[in-house]
């Protein structure tokens, strides 16, 4: 699995990994084999990529909002002077 999480099965497993804590996670880890751990790492890598892409989207949205604000401010400043 390279890239993003694209199906419900993987998304549910990612949610398990992100939300399981303490003894429950320890129990899962101890009973899991190397394939399970590799799969979990793939899920975490894909999630990391999703977060990076979302951060980029938010940065672009912020830049566009700031540009719109600056343009509106420039128009209003003409009338407020």
Structure confidence at residue 81 as a pLDDT band (50, 70, 90): confident
Residue 1 resides in a domain: no
Mean pLDDT (the chain, rounded): 92
Q: How many domains does the chain have?
A: 1
Q: Please say if the pLDDT value at position 3 is more than 90.
A: no
Residue 3 resides in a domain: no
Query: Can you give the pTM of this predicted structure?
Result: 0.73
Structure confidence at residue 6 as a pLDDT band (50, 70, 90): confident
Q: Please say if the pLDDT value at position 71 is more than 50.
A: yes
- The domain of 34 spans 8-80
Q: Are 40 and 32 in contact (CB under 8 A)?
A: yes
Q: Considering only the C-alpha atoms of the chain, give the largest distance between any 2 of them, rounded to a whole number of Å.
A: 71
């Amino acid at each position: 699995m390279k890239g993003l999480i694209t199906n419900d099965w993987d998304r549910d497993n990612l949610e398990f990994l992100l939300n399981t804590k303490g003894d429950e996670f320890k129990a899962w880890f101890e009973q899991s084999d190397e394939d399970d751990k590799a799969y979990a790492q793939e899920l975490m890598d894909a999630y990391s990529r999703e977060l990076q892409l979302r951060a980029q989207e938010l940065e672009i949205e912020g830049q566009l909002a700031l540009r719109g604000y600056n343009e509106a401010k420039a128009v209003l400043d003409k009338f407020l002077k």
